[in-house]
Amino acid sequence: MSAEGFFRSRWVERPREAEERTGGELTSGFRAAGVHCGLKDGGGTDLGLLVCDAPEVASALLLTRNAAAAAPVRVCRDDCDAARIRAAVVNSGNANAATGEAGYRDALAMRDAAAAAVGAEPPAVAVAETGVIGVPLDTGSVRRGIDEAAAALASDGGADFSESIRTTDRWPKRCLVRAGGVTLSAQAKGGGMIRPGFATMLCFIQTDAVCEDAAGVLGTVAAGSFERITVDGQMSTNDMVLLQATGESGRALPEGLLDAVALQLALEVVADGEGATRVGRAAVEGAADAEEAERVARAIANSPLVKTALYGRDPNWGRIAQAAGMALAGEELPELGPAEIDAGELGGEKREAELAVRLDRGDGAAHVFFSDLGHEYVRINAEYTT
């Protein structure tokens, strides 16, 4: 976290009277730990455990929709009570993806070991994994790590937990914020290069707010944050977002708090995308409807021509017109030109650059955040060989 504090993006509205804490403190009622169990070479922490000790906990879980979803995602989908998640166990050395039935059994065993270690029912424990794919999970190391992490659980373990879920993220992504009488803490990891090559997003959010419809709240918040970002247009096999709320503060979430935290974390993930140097915001208005606006914004955000223009500081509105026209193939946009496209900030030195397209088809509007495409993306993804 920089000297600017956590809410440092121009696109995030700082919650009113928000007070930030650094250090490893978690929301009251939660404990966490991060240890090295041996899945990562070089001794980095690679196993994290997060537990809620409050009498009641409401939760919600978002999982990747990738059809080749990793084993832990399928365990969460099949075998967890998403509304009553008390604990989560994560490893950042092995994604346990494309590992078939054996991988599923290993993810289940990892989850069950964590449940036993923290004294929770297995369906109340979520499991997440990220790292190398197609390689069997070393469940012996994982079990030892779980026992070690369970013994190390602490109310200020947020920093260790945050470290333990990182792969090649260049900086940690976490916060603790107080506002309106509630506390919210969160830890995320983003699209760093993961051998042999997925960009997986994991995010854990804890609060003492009362959250009666956790799934609805998380769905709405994610739609404006985690589902509005792209690094390389690729959907991971392992993405997961977990929200846990104890209700112990007796207060509802202040308006905008969770949205701001989720959006800042999502923007950190983009800013720390593989090889990224700049973040763009593609905003489209005047589309026939919101769905069409999002389709156009995504086409712009995922265009390698626009992404290289962002990297190269080239205010190239022509590439934006081309991408918009591709998204609306078969329609007619003959007048789309520099008067309808603001591309100036693609040039210049702003690290967060806006571009805007005004169509004349209706009232639909949408935006998507995206990273640039530069040499470092190619180096990371091409020069590394499995």
- What's the chain's length in residues? 386
Strands 58-63 and 240-245: antiparallel
223 in contact with a copy of itself (CB under 8 A): no
One of 6, 30, 226, 317 touching a copy of itself (CB under 8 A): 317
One of 86, 281, 319, 367 touching a copy of itself (CB under 8 A): 319
One of 42, 334, 348, 349 touching a copy of itself (CB under 8 A): 334
68 vs 223, beta carbon nearer a copy of itself: 68
One of 104, 161, 204, 226 touching a copy of itself (CB under 8 A): 104
Least Å distance between CB 223 and a copy of itself? 16
Q: What are the structure tokens assigned to 23, written together?
A: 């250090």
69 in contact with a copy of itself (CB under 8 A): yes
119 vs 233, beta carbon nearer a copy of itself: 233
200 catalytic, yes or no? yes
Least Å distance between CB 295 and a copy of itself? 12
One of 83, 333, 356, 365 touching a copy of itself (CB under 8 A): 333
187 in contact with a copy of itself (CB under 8 A): no
Binding mask 341-380 for a copy of itself (x = CB under 8 A): ------x-------------------------xxx-xxx-
Question: Residues with Cβ < 8 Å from 329, sequence gap 6 or more?
Answer: none
Catalytic annotation, pick one of 64, 99, 130, 200: 200
Give the residue numbers annotated as catalytic, written as ranges. Answer: 200
Q: List contacts with a copy of itself (CB under 8 A).
A: 65-69, 74, 97-100, 104, 133-134, 196-198, 232-237, 302-305, 308-309, 311-319, 321-338, 347, 373-375, 377-379, 381-386
